[in-house]
A and B are shown apart, each in its own frame.
Chain A
Amino acid sequence: MNTEAVAASPEDVNTAGSPAEDHGSDHGYSDWGYIKIALFLALVTAIEVSTYFIDFGSIATPMLIVLMIVKFAFVVAVFMHLKFDNPMFTKLFMLGLLGAVAIFIPVLLTFEYF
């Protein structure tokens, strides 16, 4: 654990701390990259919807869940910049997201939902 003094003087600090400066120049995709991702997500959606027309049998549900997670992950990581941003944002969000999953799956379990 970091017990040393952090930022003992102003020069140690990332003065790009003021928010607007640190994006724009920062990593992330080009516009075209974002569009490609969106097209990919559209494709995933099309596959999802196809389960309504084609009978996938017992793999339909697991497949839908996997595809949902893929879409979710891409939007969060790329569109919401978590992939490029400070890991603290990921932690804050994941705390809530995983917390919700870890709480409500047991709730449904106690109702013998599954």
Chain B
Amino acid sequence: MAIVEEEPRLLELTAPETVVVPADRGTGVFARPAAQTGWRSWLFTVDHKKIGIMYGAVAMLWFFVGGVEALLVRTQLATPNGTVLSANLYNQLFTMHGITMVFLVIMPLTAAFMNFMVPLMIGARDVAFPRINALGLWLFVFGGVFLNISWLTSGAPDCGWFCYAPNSGLSFSPGNGVDYYSLGLLIAGIGSMVGSVNLITTILNMRAPGMNLMKMPIFVWMTLVVQFLLLFSLPVITIALVFLSLDRLFGANFFNVKAGADPLLWQHLFWIFGHPEVYILILPSFGIVSETLPVFSRKPLFGYPFVAFSGVAIGFMGFGVWAHHMFASGLGPVSVAAFSLTTMFIAVPTGVKILNWVGTMWGGNIRFTVPMMFSVSLVAMFTIGGLSGVMHAMAAADTQQTDSYFIVAHFHYVLFGGALMGLFGGMYYWWPKIFGHRLNERLGKWHFWLVLIGFNLTFGPMHILGLQGLPRRTYRYGPGLGFDFWNLVATIGAYIILVGMLVFAYNILRSRKTMPPAGADPWDGRTIEWSIPSPAPEHNFDYVPVVTQIDDFWHHKYQKNAEGELVQIARGDDIAQAGDQHPHLPSPSYWPLVLAAGFPLIGFGLIYNLALAFVGLGLILIAIYGWAMEPSTAPGGESHPVEDSPATDDGDGEAVDTSVEDAEDHSVAESISDPEEAPVG
């Protein structure tokens, strides 16, 4: 009964991983981890749900760190001539704030939901390569820790999150901060890379019977697009970071202007990654609201194909607009005009989505639960951010706005008001499926309103400040320039956000104790993750779900009666699976953790002492061989209790007959080779 890994694991990409070991071989050098509970069961797990929870938990820790950094920055700027921070520390703080929020908070939070929910939403028992999934998690964890260790050394990176070369070169950034930046992001990037091929394969290849691409939930669609964006943008930033490291550590000349280097090279490479990256950050939230809005409006998503394909279109166009971040860098008029145009066009598919969401709510029977409130606020706040985006798509306007607080306002409206609000909505929405109980709605509303008001107080005034001419990344401003009032308002807003987040933390702790078990289907959901118990059992599905339409689960609950009216025929909790079967699952493994641990060693080695790098490399090699020699499922762990199930009285005869004519014609492959349904096609 293996839906996962029906073949021996051929782990990809690097040498020994492709090795195939027949499953009956021994378990390699060490005994396998076997703990089902306690910390060991988490460290060595390959379960996509535990991995998802860890992504989320670690991201929330970093959210706290990034939040403190932001508050320090805002405190410094509350009054003119602030004295809280030195210029140097200020630079480190805003840099680390940006890096933390982008790479260590939003990306892993989206990864948390993707890991946890995608297999549940497509009816799979795990992802395609569970151990690689664990590897991705640990690389993210170690990459984040590595980055932040820079605080303990000669100083954190202070070059801004895009760390323009040659400013980030040795002569202008002599400490080790930038080394931590480039190596840390490389480590985390490798993690995202392995995660992306894994999720792409999972979505393309492990959907439940009957679920062709056009029946996938939109969140799964957006995940697929995001993983393709990562797949094709990460190699570019990888090369940029490698160049930067080689320059700084081995004296290469990529950004050495004296040797004739072109300073725009870094900017191109960074933003070829950077612009797709902003869609990597926002599209998962778009996916989340495309799930929540229909549920809480009690209407199907308005224009499903448009939402799906506009996401794909955004993915494509996202690779063609990068130079809008470089309008003021002397690109030349032709390039500027071209990228200005493409940037304006990319607003179109984004607008399509907003129309669809409004159309979904229109005339719906809306329930204003907390997840719904966050989702609606995403639509509103993102629209503001999108509009200011279109404003600086016009190059002439952008030359005024660039590097001013107007830009800061723009990207916080899309990233906080958009991405983060959507993720909060997702947390309230899926909390019961993940932890078995809902979050308290009353506290949730406090959380929502405090954050929404605080957010608008913080970032709304930055539009004004920017247009008044306050440059971004200034560590202080003089009095009497007209900047005082709105800066103070922004700082007050930031503290209101803090209060909101404390309420959220309290809500999490309190709900754990006080909220009753949620039941399988607390929101009257539409998609198949609500057809299994809450919290999701270890094996996800007792029986392979067979899907026939979009929102399949909902159609099991509501059907047209004789008069053609839609009536409820069943309650979700009643028709959910019991979670009492025990199909065998991939076994836990030490190797992902060990393999990932080699990378920070290489990082430290490159900075301080090459010998250490070789130790790291050795560790990686050992781990790869250990991994390759270990079958994905421990021998003897097999059980097929499903076979004892009494309910399989019919159908056997037909099912066994696999000699049917020319199976290819009916194969599921059809759904994908159909040009209209090409992946990200």
Contacts and interface: CB of A to CB of B under 8 A. Distances in A.
Main secondary structure of the interface of A (DSSP, over half): helix
B666 A110 contact: no
A73 to B, nearest CB: 21
A14 B660 CA distance: 9
B655 A10 contact: yes
A95 B654 CA distance: 40
B232 interface: yes
Contact of B232 (A19, A91, A96): A96
B262 A111 contact: yes
A5 B215 CA distance: 9
B667 A12 contact: yes
B117 interface: no
Interface string B538-553: 0000000011100000
Interface in B634-673: 654-655, 657-658, 660, 663-664, 666-673
Given A1-B214, A3-B214, A7-B666, A88 B672 contact: yes
A2 B654 contact: no
Nearest to B673: A87
Interface string A1-33: 111011111111111111100000000000000
Interface string A87-106: 11001100110010011000
A12 B673 CA distance: 16
A11 B654 contact: yes
Interface in A65-97: 86-88, 91-92, 95-96
B261 to A, nearest CB: 12
Given A8-B546, A14-B664, A86 B673 contact: yes
A95 B228 contact: yes
Contact of A11 (B215, B323, B660): B660
A42 B681 CA distance: 35
B335 interface: yes
A55 interface: no
A107 B658 contact: no
A106 to B, nearest CB: 8
Nearest to B547: A5
Nearest to A5: B210
A12 B677 CA distance: 20
A17 B228 CA distance: 24
Interface residues of A, number: 33
Given A103-B319, A111-B264, A9 B654 contact: yes
A95 B232 contact: yes
A109 interface: yes
B655 A9 contact: yes
B663 A16 contact: yes
B332 A1 contact: no
Interface in A28-72: none
A91 B655 CA distance: 32
A112 B215 CA distance: 46
A8 B210 contact: yes
Contacts of A18: 6-7
A13 B6 CA distance: 15
B482 interface: no
A59 to B, nearest CB: 28
B676 A91 contact: no
Contact of A1 (B231, B232, B272, B677): B677
A9 B209 contact: yes
Contacts of B319: 99, 102-103
B123 to A, nearest CB: 13
B679 interface: yes
Given A11-B658, A91-B678, A99 B232 contact: yes
B473 interface: no
Given A6-B668, A16-B663, A110-B332, 16 more contacts: A1-B676, A2-B214, A3-B214, A7-B209, A10-B209, A10-B655, A11-B655, A11-B663, A12-B668, A18-B7, A95-B232, A96-B231, A99-B232, A99-B319, A102-B319, A102-B320
18 contacts: A1-B676, A1-B677, A2-B214, A3-B212, A9-B654, A10-B658, A12-B667, A13-B663, A13-B668, A14-B667, A17-B667, A88-B669, A92-B679, A95-B232, A96-B231, A107-B272, A110-B332, A110-B335
Shortest 5 CB-CB contacts between residues of A and residues of B: A14-B667, A12-B666, A14-B663, A5-B210, A7-B668
Interface of A: 1-3, 5-19, 86-88, 91-92, 95-96, 99, 102-103, 107, 109-112
